[in-house]
Structure 1
C-alpha cells in the first residue's frame, strides 16, 4: 500500500487510529487501527470483518481487506472523503448541508438499515447507529460504518438478551434497562439521528448552564403546533412537507415501546411518501416520567458498566443521572 502525501496521514475516531492511503490501483482507503486507549479487541474486529464481508449495500461502507496478525489488527475500508455526519452537522468544521442533502442522508441510512434488518441473507442489528458512524462519500451519500458491535438475530424470537453496548443518547429504553435486543433498537437510534440531522445539533447539549435534550425540545414544539421550528436555522430553504414527514417518522421511531416503532422498510416508504406518515399523538413515557421527576429518571438509574471514550463515565456511586440520554460511549465488550 502506498500513501498519498496530499492526504492527512492519520486521524482518530473514537479511539481508533485511521490512516488515509492509496492502493496501487488508485483507490483511496482508510486503514483502521486500534489505538492504545481503545477497549475494542480482536474479537470485535473479527465481528466487524465477518459481518461487513457478508453484507453489501450502497449505504454500507465497503471493506477491502484486513490483517489480524500481531498486536495491532488493521481493517482497510473505502475512504469516505467527507468524513462523518456528526462532523458535518455540528463539528468544528461543520458543513453547510442543504435540506435536499440532509433528506437524502436520512433516506440513505434508512435504506441501509432496511437492508440489514429485512433484505440481507443474514439479519443484522448494528447496535451503534449514531451520527459519528454515518460516513459521507464525495457526493455526500451516507454509508453506515463500524460493525464492531453488530449482532446477528433471529426474527422468530421476540428478543435476545445481551450486554448493553452502544452510545448513550441513542439507546432504546428496553435495551438500556433490560438488555433486550431486537432490530427495533436500531430503529430508535435512527430516529435520534434524523432529529439531529433536522436540527443541526446533537441530542444533548448545554445552553446557558442548562441541559437541553432534543427529545423534550422537539416534543414541546410538536405539541405546540410549531414542529417546523425544529429545523436548523442555517437552512434558509427547505421543503416543509418533507420536513414534517421526517419529524413524524423520527417521533415514531423513538417511541418507548419497540412494538410502536415501524420496521425500517416502512420508514423508507414513509420518508419517500409512498406511505402516509401518521400523526404521532403519544409522547413516550420516558419523557413524561423524567419531566415529572424533575430530570432524574429510573430509565438510566441503574449503572451500566463500561468505559467512556468521549465523555466521563457515569458515576456508579450516585447511580442516577440527570438524563436518560447522555452523550458518552458504552464500550462494554470492546
Structure 2
C-alpha cells in the first residue's frame, strides 16, 4: 500500500511540475503569428528583433504581454521605419490590445476598418504618419479609450460626433490634418487635453469646448468671435479713446510738447555729465589699485569694488584671496569659447572651478552689473556664481565644482590634463602634464540619466529666460556647460557670458554645431537661439554623437542635418546611440525626445517652442506620457521633418 501511495505521489508531482513548466514556457501563439504576419507585409527597421524562435513576451522589442503571458496587450513601435498600409487581418487579431503606438513612421492608407475588433483599446497613438481618408465613423466601439492622437497625418472629412460616447477620454489631438466641417459638441467631462489646430474646420466652437485655450482651434476657418473663449476679451472701442483726446485744446497740447522736450534735454545733459565723471573714475582706478595687495572682501552682491579684490556673492562661505587662487594646484577642465576652465584645489581642501575669461570687451561697470545680475540667480538647475575678480589683466569667475564633470566629458570622453599654477616673482608659471586622451574616458549613460540631464537643463534655461523681465539670455548652451547636480539632473553654467565678449567669427568646430543659423554675432543671442542650441543638445544625448564631426575622408558632418536626413528616409531608429538600444521598452520615450529635439532645432526661429513648453513635454516623457508637440507654437514631424505652423507647410533645411 505504501509503495502504491509513493508511486501515486511521484506521478502527481511530475504532473504538477509539467504544468508549471508549461505555464512558464507559455506563449500567446495566435497573437505571435498575427504580429509576424503584420511584420512580413511591411517595411521596417532592422533593429526590430522579432524572431519566431524567441519569446514574444520576453524578447520582442515593443511588445508587452499580460501577467500570465497569455495575450499581447501593448504594441509600441514608434520610429520603427514602418511604411505602407497596415495589412488587413493582422493587428486586428490582437483582440486584447490596450495600447497601440505606431507614431513617427511612414504608414499610409486609410484608418484600418478591422481595428473595430480591438475593443479593449485605451490608448491609440498614430501621429506623424501618412494616413489619409476619413476618421473612423463609430468611435463608440472603443468605449475604454482615454487617449487618441491622430495629429500630423492627412485625415480628411468631418470629426465624428460618436467621439462624444467616449466617456473616459482625457486627450484628443487631431491637429495638422485636413479635417473640415463643424466641430461637434464634444461634451465630455473627462476631456483635459484638446487640439484641433491647423485643419479646415468652420463654424462655431461649441460652448462645451470654450474652456480650452484658443491655440487648440488656431489655423482653421473659424471666425475670431466664435473661436476665442471669454478669457480673451476684445480690444476696447477706439471711439471711447478718441473722445478723451478731444478734451485737450491745441495750444495746451503744443505747450505740453515743448515743455516735455525742454525737460528731456535737461535730463539727458545731466546724465551725460554724470557718466563722464564716472567713466573717468573707472579708467583711473585700476592703475592706482595695482599698488595694493589683493585681499578678501565679502560683499552681499557684485557691486563696484575699487580695489580689484575678489567679490563674493551672498550665501557663499568661501574665503580666499587672489594669491591663494593662483597658488592652488589645478586641473584643466577644458578650453572653451570664452576662455580656459580649471578645477582649483585650495590649501584648505576647498575645490572650486575657475573660468579665466579672454576677449572681454565691456568696461568694469558693465561687467560688475552683469555679474551682480547672474550672481543673484538661485536655482537647483543653474550653476551658481560664487565670486568674481576683475582687473585690466585678469577676469576670473568662480563656480561650484561638480565631481562627475560635464555632460560632454561623460558622454564623449575628454583630454585629461593636470596642471599646476604657481606665482614666482609676480609672474604665473604653467606646468601641464598629459594623463590620458580622447574617447577612452567615455562613460555609458543609461536612458534615465540622459532624460534627467535634459529635464534639469531645460528647467534651468527656462528659469534663466524668466529673469530680468524676460531679457536674460544664456547664449552659449552646449554639453560642456552642463553638469550633473546631486540629484543627477542637468545643471546649466556660464550664463550670459557672450554679452561680455567680442564677437567670435569662427568658433571651434563643436561650438559651431550648437549655434542657431540666424546668429552671426555671439553677443546677439535670443531665447529662440537658446532653444535651438538646447535642441542640438537633445539630439546629442540621443545619438551619442558630437554636434559637428568629421569622417575619415575629412567630410564635415553636422548633427542636425544628419538626423533630419536619416529621419526623412524613414529610418528613425538608426539615429539612436547603440548604448541605448540595450534598454528595453524605451523606444516610445526616445522618439518623443527626438521629436522635441527636432522641433527645437528647426531653422526658422518663430517655429521653435518656448522653453516652458519644452520642460512640460520632457516631463511628460518622464511620467510615461506622450508629449503633445502639436499643442506648442512650434511643430516638427519626426517621420518627415516638415513642421507646420498655422497650416502652412515649411520644409526644414539645415
Answer yes or no: same fold by TM over 0.5: yes
User: Counterpart in 2 of 1:237?
Assistant: 583
Residues 70-107 of structure 1 show CA distances to partners (whole Å, capped at 9, x for unaligned) of 62233221101122211111122221111110111011
User: Counterpart in 1 of 2:568?
Assistant: 223
Which of 454, 469, 473 is matched with 1:106 structurally?
A: 454
User: Counterpart in 1 of 2:598?
Assistant: 251
Q: 1:126/1:180 Cα in 2 relative to 1: closer, same or farther (>3 Å)?
A: closer
1:114: how far off? 0.9
- When the two chains are superposed, the root-mean-square deviation of aligned CA atoms in Å is 3.4
Measured in 2, the distance between the counterparts of 1:244 and 1:81 equals 31
Pairwise mapping of residues 45-64 of structure 1 onto structure 2 (< 5 A)?
Answer: 46=368, 49-64=371-386
1:10: how far off? 2.5
User: Counterpart in 2 of 1:31?
Assistant: 354
Q: Quick check: 13-22 or 204-213, which moved more? A: 13-22
Tell me, what secondary structure is at the counterpart of 1:20? strand
Q: 1:208/1:286 Cα in 2 relative to 1: closer, same or farther (>3 Å)?
A: farther
1:207 aligns with 2:570: no
1:276 aligns with 2:628: yes
Tell me, what secondary structure is at the counterpart of 1:66? strand
Q: 1:22/1:122 Cα in 2 relative to 1: closer, same or farther (>3 Å)?
A: farther
1:226: how far off? 2.4
Q: 1:42/1:120 Cα in 2 relative to 1: closer, same or farther (>3 Å)?
A: closer
Measured in 1, the distance between the counterparts of 2:369 and 2:498 equals 7
TM-score, with normalisation over the residues of structure 1?
0.70
Which of 458, 468, 472 is matched with 1:124 structurally?
A: 472
User: Counterpart in 2 of 1:300?
Assistant: none
User: Counterpart in 1 of 2:202?
Assistant: none
Residues 38-58 of structure 1 show CA distances to partners (whole Å, capped at 9, x for unaligned) of 324675864662342132211
User: Counterpart in 1 of 2:110?
Assistant: none
Tell me, what secondary structure is at the counterpart of 1:9? strand
Structure 1 gaps of 5+ residues are 153-161, 291-334
1:86 aligns with 2:408: yes
TM-score, with normalisation over the residues of structure 2?
0.38
1:267: how far off? 0.6
Q: 1:219/1:195 Cα in 2 relative to 1: closer, same or farther (>3 Å)?
A: same
1:13 aligns with 2:335: yes
1:192 aligns with 2:536: yes
Q: 1:17/1:217 Cα in 2 relative to 1: closer, same or farther (>3 Å)?
A: closer
**8 A Cα contact 1:116 1:125, kept in partner:** yes
Larger Rg over CA atoms: 2
Measured in 1, the distance between the counterparts of 2:523 and 2:391 equals 33
Measured in 2, the distance between the counterparts of 1:212 and 1:287 equals 17
Tell me, what secondary structure is at the counterpart of 2:491? strand
**8 A Cα contact 2:566 2:574, kept in partner:** yes
Tell me, what secondary structure is at the counterpart of 2:519? helix
Structure 2 gaps of 5+ residues are 1-319, 414-437, 631-635, 644-649
**8 A Cα contact 2:566 2:575, kept in partner:** yes
Measured in 2, the distance between the counterparts of 1:46 and 1:227 equals 47
Tell me, what secondary structure is at the counterpart of 1:173? coil
**8 A Cα contact 1:47 1:148, kept in partner:** no
1:264 aligns with 2:611: yes
Q: 1:203/1:69 Cα in 2 relative to 1: closer, same or farther (>3 Å)?
A: closer
Measured in 2, the distance between the counterparts of 1:48 and 1:84 equals 24
**8 A Cα contact 1:126 1:151, kept in partner:** no
User: Counterpart in 2 of 1:321?
Assistant: none
Matched positions, count: 274
Give the number of the structure with larger relative contact order, counting CA–CA contacts within 8 Å between residues 6 or more apart. Answer: 1
Q: 1:286/1:89 Cα in 2 relative to 1: closer, same or farther (>3 Å)?
A: farther
